[in-house]
Every structure is written in C-alpha cells, then in structure tokens.
C-alpha cells in the first residue's frame, strides 16, 4: 500500500509517499522560516497562505520523484491536528479532495502521533512498550506507549513547551528565529557552569515540567550583566546560552530517567523538533545508559514537522481498517488519549 502523507500543521509544508513494503520512497519539505523570521515567530495567516501556495506543487514533486502517478496512490493521510486551524484546514481540505478525486480512502492523522512514530522509519526501530519524550515548539510530554494508539500522558509542561522556551530565550538574546538552533550554536562557545541556572521541578515528585522560571532567570541575568549597549558582552551571552541549554537538558534527562523507573521500561523514544538538539541526544544517551536504557530517535530531517511521519502513521491506521468519511475536520487541540488503539502494534 502506498500512502501520500500531507503535513501542514504549522510553519512547514511536508509531503511524502510511504510504501508499506519499501518504506519512504519520496519526501519533500518546504520551511517557512524566512516568511516568519522578521516577526520573531509564526504568523498564522501567513502560514496558511504559504501552505496554499506550496502544498500542491510539492505533491507533484514527490510523485515525479517516485516516478508515480495518482493512480499508484492507495490512500491519503493528512494532519488533522493539533496545530494552527487555518494551516490544518489547507492540508485537510486538499487531502480529502484528492482522496475523493482518486477514489481512495483518506485519514486525518494526529500530529504528535506522527512524531512519536517517526523513529519507526529508522533501520533499528524501537519495540513496544516504551516511554516517549515529545519535545517541540508546542509540546513537552512524556507518554507511556504500550502500542499504536495506546497512549497515556504521564508528564507534561505546566507552562511553556521546551521549544517555546528556547525561542523566547533566543529572542531575549536578540538571536534569529527559530531560537533552538541559534541557542545551541551560541552555546558551543559558552561555559554552561558560569551561571547556576535552576532545574525546575526536579526536587519534587512527579513527571511534569515547567520552563517559565528558566525564562525569568535568563532575563534577569541579561539585565544584570548589561553594562554598555542593549545586551551583555559576547562571552557572557554565550555563557548564558550554554547555561540555559544545559538546564533544559538536565531537567529533561532527570524526568526521563524518572519515567523509565516508574514504568519499568528500558526504551525511550525521543521525537519532535527539539529532539534534533545534539547536546540533548548525547546526554540522554549517556545518562540513560547508566540505567541500561536505550534511546531511540528519528534522523534529524524527520525530527521537525515532515510528511514522512504522517504518511507512516496514516499507513499504520489505514492498514488496520481505519479511514475517514467525506467530512473535512481539523482539531487545533486534540488530546492523544482520544485516539483509538489498534489491535496490533503496527
């Protein structure tokens, strides 16, 4: 079965074709970073308009890359939520229309389930059950994953997501958008131990996160060390970036280890845009190896939003007999525990 995947939940247009026998046979991604950079964040209306411009040309591109025609597509999977409602509607309307015109089934996919399952596209995918760490611009969650669709959120951020905190800290340091890669780049020349950043909520039981205190601490540091000009000297800025990044990494690592101890699992799946952070990958792997746990993650290009993860997640559910009716629906908010569990682990 060949499934066309369409991802338009936020500021990236992702299209891919997944073959249940061959894997991903074509994928393409258009990033809107240049569109939103001057505003310091995503502008929903501009995101929707750009998806309208790019989605259909990218579909034509991946079909040509795979040397396929519409007649070779057996189903269409599109992101139905969560995300920006206007952006979601672009992919949902087009995906549903194409499926109707091609006379194939269609299915709306949960965006975070796509991220969670993205590591399944690697050569050595994780086996169920496992703990999933979902870290992105809009989500920071720990999920007990027993099978596809059998999810229990056991920890989440009580305020900002980790990716959002990176973006806001980067803005305080007058770095470009998106902030995560810029913070990581600046942190390479910084001393993470110069300033004693807090590790929020690690001194209390539970698996929830909080990153708002880190933002406040960062702002206070910047103001304290600003003497001449609008910002501190370059080395102090690098030290602040390094300390901030290390605090996030340490906090996440502590919570992940605690989640594995609570569930008794030995596998952690890390997914979402922040999972591309090299320091987070390295330290999670090192610290969890101490408790004989293994960390799995997708290749960097499948960490951020992409069509491949949507095509794969859709293929799993379509193979189990699920499909949508002719209505077009999108959910800006969509709790993962509302998803239907499959009879098999995919």
Q: Per residue in 139-152, pLDDT tens?
A: 899 999 999 999 99
Same domain, yes or no: 133 and 54:
no
Whether 345 shows a pLDDT value over 90: the answer reads no
Q: How far is CA 177 from the centre of its chain?
A: 16
Same domain, yes or no: 185 and 54:
no
Same domain, yes or no: 139 and 273:
yes
The CATH number given to whatever domain includes residue 24 is 3.30.420.40
Which pair of tokens denotes residue 181? Answer: 């890669």
Query: Which residue, 264, 282, 297, sits at the end of a domain?
Result: 297
Which residue ranges make up the annotated binding site for Fe cation? Answer: 111, 115, 305
pTM given for the model: 0.94
Q: How far apart are CA 319 and CA 271, in angstroms?
A: 23
- Band (137; pLDDT cuts 50, 70, 90): confident
Same domain, yes or no: 290 and 205:
yes
Range of the domain at 223: 128-297
By CB atoms closer than 10 A (0-12, 13-18, 19+), residue 216 is exposed
Q: How far apart are CA 253 and CA 158, in angstroms?
A: 17
The verdict on residue 318 lying in a domain is yes
The region, left, alpha or beta by phi > 0 then psi within -120 to 50, assigned to residue 108 is beta
Cβ 149 vs Cβ 338: under 8 Å? no
Nearest to 175 by CA among 246, 129, 237: 237
Whether 185 shows a pLDDT value over 50: the answer reads yes
The verdict on residue 88 lying in a domain is yes
The region, left, alpha or beta by phi > 0 then psi within -120 to 50, assigned to residue 264 is left
Report the 10 Å Cβ neighbour count for 57: 12
The verdict on residue 343 lying in a domain is no
The 3-state DSSP class for residue 78 equals strand
Same domain, yes or no: 148 and 107:
no
Which pair of tokens denotes residue 101? Answer: 């015109």
Same domain, yes or no: 101 and 59:
yes
Q: How many domains does the chain have?
A: 2
Same domain, yes or no: 215 and 168:
yes
The verdict on residue 134 lying in a domain is yes
Same domain, yes or no: 92 and 223:
no
The verdict on residue 166 lying in a domain is yes
Same domain, yes or no: 287 and 316:
no
Which residue ranges make up the annotated binding site? Answer: 111, 115, 134-138, 167, 180, 277, 305
Same domain, yes or no: 157 and 76:
no
Span 253-259, mean pLDDT?
96
Say what percent of the chain tops pLDDT 90. Answer: 93
Same domain, yes or no: 148 and 67:
no
Which pair of tokens denotes residue 75? Answer: 């189903």
Same domain, yes or no: 212 and 306:
no
Report the 10 Å Cβ neighbour count for 45: 10
Whether 343 shows a pLDDT value over 80: the answer reads no
| pLDDT tens per residue across span 49-103 | 999 999 999 999 999 999 999 999 999 999 999 999 999 999 999 999 999 999 9
Report the 10 Å Cβ neighbour count for 128: 15
The verdict on residue 66 lying in a domain is yes
The verdict on residue 218 lying in a domain is yes
The verdict on residue 123 lying in a domain is no
């Amino acid at each position: 079965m060949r499934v066309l995947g369409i991802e338009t939940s936020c500021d990236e247009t992702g299209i891919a074709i997944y073959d249940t026998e061959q894997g991903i046979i074509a994928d393409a991604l258009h990033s809107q970073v240049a569109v939103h950079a001057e505003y310091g964040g995503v502008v929903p209306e501009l995101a929707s308009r750009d998806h309208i411009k790019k989605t259909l040309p990218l579909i034509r591109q991946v079909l040509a890359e795979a040397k396929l025609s519409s007649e070779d597509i057996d189903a269409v999977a599109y992101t139905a939520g969560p995300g920006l409602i206007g952006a979601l509607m672009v992919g949902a309307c087009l995906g549903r229309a194409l499926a109707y015109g091609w006379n194939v089934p269609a299915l709306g996919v949960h965006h975070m389930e796509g991220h969670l399952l993205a590591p399944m596209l690697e050569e050595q995918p994780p086996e169920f059950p496992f703990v999933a760490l979902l870290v992105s611009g809009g989500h920071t969650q720990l999920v007990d994953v027993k099978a596809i669709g059998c999810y229990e959120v056991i920890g989440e951020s009580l305020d900002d997501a980790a990716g959002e905190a990176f973006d806001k800290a980067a803005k305080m340091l007058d770095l470009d958008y998106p902030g995560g890669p810029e913070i990581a780049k600046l942190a390479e020349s910084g001393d993470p131990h110069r300033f004693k950043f807090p590790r929020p909520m690690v001194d209390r039981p539970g698996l929830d996160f909080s990153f708002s205190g880190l933002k406040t601490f960062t702002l206070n540091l910047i103001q304290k060390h600003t003497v001449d000009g609008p910002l501190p000297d370059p080395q102090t800025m690098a030290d602040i970036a390094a300390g901030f990044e290390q605090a996030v990494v340490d906090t996440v690592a502590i919570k992940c280890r605690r989640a594995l101890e609570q569930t008794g699992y030995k596998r952690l799946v890390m997914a979402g845009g922040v999972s591309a952070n090299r320091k987070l990958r390295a330290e999670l792997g090192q610290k969890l190896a101490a408790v004989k746990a293994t960390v799995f993650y997708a290749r960097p290009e499948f960490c951020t939003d992409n069509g491949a993860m949507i095509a794969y997640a859709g293929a799993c559910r379509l193979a189990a007999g699920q499909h949508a009716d002719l209505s077009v629906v999108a959910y800006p908010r969509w709790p993962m525990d509302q998803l239907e569990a499959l009879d098999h682990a995919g």
